[in-house]
Structures are given as C-alpha cells and as structure tokens.
A = this chain, B = another copy of it.
Amino acid sequence: MKLESSKENLINGISIVQKAVSSKSTLPVLEGILLEADEKLKLTGNDLEIGIECYVEADITEPGSIVLNSRIFGDIIRRMPDSEVYIELKENQTVIIDCENSHFEIKGLSAEGFPALPEIETQDSLSLSQKLVKEMIRQTIFAVSMDENRPILTGSLIECMDEFLTFVSIDGFRLALRKNRVENELSDLRVVVPGKTLNEISKILQPVDEEVKIYNGSSQIMFDLGNCRIVSRLLEGDYLNYGSIIPEEYQTRVKVNTRQLLSSIERASLIITVEERRYPVRFSMADDKMIITSSTDMGAVKEELQVEMEGKELEISFNPRYFADALKVIEEEVIDVYFTTNVGPCTIRPVEKGDFAYMILPVRR
C-alpha cells in the first residue's frame, strides 16, 4: 500500500469512521480503523453495533490494506502540518506516515482480522434530506429508555407506512413521536434502531438538503450519504403499539408559549437539587393562568404564565425534566398541552401541523 492524500481529507474521513470505533475493546482490532486502498481509499470503523465506511480522495500508487489504532492514527493526522500526507505499508505491518519533516513508523494489525460490514441489499430505499433525519432523531432520542431490562425500549422505532415516516421513543414514563410525510415509501419498514447508534448517526448527518438514503436489511439498517455508509444493528423484539398509548380525549387543553413554559419549569427545578430529584413541580390551571410551583427544604418557587385554556380546572404534578426535555426540541413558538386527569397522561402537540406528540405521565402524590 502506497498513497498520498491531504491532511484535510484524511481528517474528515477519520472523524466520521471514528464514531463507530470502540474506545476500549478486548479485541484490539475493534479499536482500529481499516484502511483499504484500491481504486479509492476506504476507511472503515466497526464496533459490531455500528459500522461506518467512508471514501477519501487519495492518489494511490500501490493497493493494500491495514488496520491502524484509531486514536493514534487520528492524533497523528490531526497534528500534522496542513499538507500532503504520505502513507506506506512496509514489512511486518509497519506503516510509514510522512508529512513534510515529520516521519512516523507505526505498528498496524492485519486487515484480515477486521470484521467486514454486513452486506445490505440496495433495492428499495427511502431518500430524505440529511437535515430532516438529523432533526427527527434529535426530537425523539431523549425519550429512549436507559433501562437494559427492556432492551427493545433502548432504541427508537422507525416506521414508514401510509406515506408517513415516524420516529418513536418510549421509556415507560414518556413518549416522543415525530412524523413526516414522505414521497417514496420503503415497503414494510418497521425497525428499532439502538439509541446509541442513532446518536452517532445524528452527529454524522449535517443540517443540509443533501440526501441520505435509508436501506432496510433483515437485521440491519443502512444510511447511505454518498461517500459514507453507516450500518447499524437493529434491536429484536416487538415494539409497543404506540398508537394505543397516546390518549385522544382530554379534559383540559392549554395553549402556551413554548419558551416561556420551558423557562418557568427550569426555574421551578432550580431548588430541586440532585439528591432531592424526586421532588416534582406542580401545575395549576385555572382562569387562563398556569401556575407552576415547587417547594423543597431550600425554599419555594412560584411561576405564573398567561395561557389560553379550555376545559376543566386541574392540578397535576410532573417530573420537570421530562417536560423540559420535550420543550427543548420543539421549534414551534406556541404549543397545545392536553391533560386527561391528574393521574393520567398529558400530551404536548403542535397548535397547527400534526407532526409531533410528546406524552408524559404525571407523578402521583
């Protein structure tokens, strides 16, 4: 293997595939990046949960392949002068990396031991803008469960049917749903993608109109960005029937400014310190006013919000973090909050377009 590439191109590729590299593994090869030089230079990272391959422009004079420790390889290239980098594989899996007056000799690992990315059939695909997918992940991932006892809930459901693409996360106390009308429909898409890998994918996706193609493998999903492909393992099992969880009836509806509600909830949370996290905040709705209160050993807070209200007066308590997490990702200036009873779920919905729903269970006192 002999090639030359610019520091900048190498860094871009390394930064992307590093998101799929184990920082600590019992298998040293999983802490590495696979370099394959043929007609193009391909970099691959694969921690067996998520695999990423990325093509990097390079001038290849001799093909070959090798695995280099991801941290070392990345650090070396990042620290090099902004110039052309020469990479050559010598005997005994030693790799030369030269740039201007810097000369590195690094021990590599055989490419044979590196786990290949699973092959995904690339017939049916769903084409979306990167920015939309990035946004849909951001607006639902926070409600993914951290509880390993119900593994299926540690991922987000991605479903495509009836011309709608839907992302759903549920952690047992709350639900986050974001949907979007799509033109081309991938037949029968209903998969659960691990939250951890969705998080990495959302970092790679840019807030741009360029498209990402989604392919559905039998036990994998692939996101194809053109010169970069991300393959994620899927979670096995039946996901909850989210449609039946979200209440359709309500007793009280409140139209409120999103940022004002978030600020008030955050202030009411200030006196709930970490050790006392179980303290809830209380919402009281009456006379077009929403009063948010909290009270702990440290003191008391009272926040008053002007709202548009419909239905019964209500007093109800919530874990403030669940409300704040949802409000932080909502772009709409004004939202509707639908309450059932003071022990039943409440749902945040947009006032106009029906493209999201956040459901939160109250705290029973």
> Are B304 and A101 closer than 8 Å at their CB atoms?
yes
Q: Is A128 an interface residue (CB 8 A)?
A: no
Given contacts A102-B264, A264-B102, are A270 and B302 in contact (CB under 8 A)? Answer: no
Given contacts A101-B305, A304-B101, are A79 and B299 in contact (CB under 8 A)? Answer: no
Which residues of B are found within 8 Å of A69, using beta-carbon distances? 298
> Are A107 and B299 closer than 8 Å at their CB atoms?
yes
Q: Name A81's contact: one of B106, B107, B263 (CB within 8 Å).
A: B263
Q: Name A104's contact: one of B263, B301, B304 (CB within 8 Å).
A: B301
> Are A298 and B101 closer than 8 Å at their CB atoms?
no
Number of interface residues of A (CB under 8 A): 30
> Which chain A residues in 252-290 approach chain B with CB under 8 Å?
263-264, 266-267, 270-271
Q: Which residue of the partner chain B has the closest CB to A289?
A: B101
A79 to B267, CA, bound (A): 6
Which residues of B are found within 8 Å of A334, using beta-carbon distances? none
Q: Which residue of the partner chain B has the closest CB to A71?
A: B273
> Are B303 and A107 closer than 8 Å at their CB atoms?
no
Q: Name A102's contact: one of B80, B94, B107, B301 (CB within 8 Å).
A: B301
> Are B303 and A101 closer than 8 Å at their CB atoms?
yes
Given contacts A101-B305, A264-B102, are A270 and B300 in contact (CB under 8 A)? Answer: no
Q: Name A298's contact: one of B106, B270, B297, B304 (CB within 8 Å).
A: B106
Q: Is A161 an interface residue (CB 8 A)?
A: no
Interface string of A69-112 (1 = CB under 8 A from B): 10010011001110000000000001000000111111100000
> Are A76 and B107 closer than 8 Å at their CB atoms?
no
Which residues of B are found within 8 Å of A101, using beta-carbon distances? 264, 303-305
> Are B267 and A72 closer than 8 Å at their CB atoms?
no
A72 to B272, CA, bound (A): 10
Given contacts A72-B270, A76-B270, A271-B72, are A300 and B263 in contact (CB under 8 A)? Answer: no
> Are B298 and A103 closer than 8 Å at their CB atoms?
no
Given contacts A304-B101, A305-B101, are A267 and B299 in contact (CB under 8 A)? Answer: no
Given contacts A101-B304, A102-B303, are A298 and B72 in contact (CB under 8 A)? Answer: yes
Given contacts A72-B271, A72-B298, A101-B304, are A263 and B107 in contact (CB under 8 A)? Answer: no
Q: List 30 A-B contacts (CB under 8 A).
A: A72-B270, A72-B271, A72-B298, A75-B270, A76-B267, A79-B263, A79-B266, A79-B267, A79-B270, A80-B267, A81-B263, A101-B303, A101-B304, A102-B264, A102-B302, A102-B303, A103-B301, A103-B302, A103-B303, A104-B267, A104-B271, A104-B299, A104-B300, A104-B301, A105-B300, A105-B301, A106-B299, A107-B297, A107-B298, A107-B299
Q: A79-B263, A101-B304 are in contact. List 12 more A-B contacts (CB 8 A).
A: A72-B270, A72-B298, A79-B270, A81-B263, A102-B264, A102-B267, A102-B302, A103-B301, A103-B304, A105-B299, A106-B298, A107-B297
